[in-house]
Amino acid sequence: MPTGATARKPRVTEPVVPASGIARRRAAAKDEANPAYLERRREIVEAAGRVFKAKGLQGTSLGDIAVESGADRASLYYYVGNKEELFHEVVRGAAEANLARAQAIRDSEGTAPEKLRALIESLMASYAENYPILYVYIQENLSHVPEKHAQWAADMRHVNRDYEHIVIGLVEQGMSEGTIRSVAPSWIVAYGVMGMLGWTNRWFHPETSKASAQEIATAFADTVLQGLVEPTPVRRRKRA
């Protein structure tokens, strides 16, 4: 056997046994749904969210999360496997909250343009509130994630589809009620709205941007709706 292979062997095999043991304990504790365990895990996820917001995914370490949550790094493994797992939970929480707000907007009173404006404002506010977590997420290719994260990716694709259907549905509502012009198929209009908001990941930072999230949302909503909203017919005056 080559010397290099012998030298690498301890680094590969030594951590496996304790890690798998902790993983089994972690899975058992989650399955048992122990209230104290779940509450502590929720606190750790929230602490991780604060660190991710401040440092981003690449700049964050489990040590940073341990300090923020008031835990030592060794005990942290009893609640989470790695920082990616924590990041995925933070993303899931933010994305599901966005979906819930979109559902509430869809089911509220008002015209389609009014609802689209509220949705644009809501999503832009979420990008600022959860910066940079959601921006990292929207750049993620959910079709090419490691097998261990496959279930998370499938769940997030479902959330994405539900959100997209709401936006498409609002555009279709407007076209049906005559408040939005049929300038293109509803899905193209909806994807255009979402793409415009998502592109802010390239230049928006809530602390340094020259415009606030609300100002950006208002400008985007005005731009989109002025091009989409069906103008109210002007009645011609009768000649005297």
Structural domains in the chain plus CATH codes: 13-76 (1.10.10), 88-228 (1.10.357.10)
pLDDT in tens, 51-76: 888 887 788 899 999 999 998 888 88
The predicted model scores a pTM of 0.75
* CA separation, residue 63 to residues 57, 91, 193 (Å): 13, 20, 39
Select the highest-mean-pLDDT range: 8-12, 146-150, 203-207, 211-215: 211-215
What residue type is assigned to position 198 of the chain?
Answer: G
Tens of pLDDT, residues 40-56: 888 988 888 888 888 87
Nearest alpha carbon to residue 86 among 27, 39, 133, 142:
133
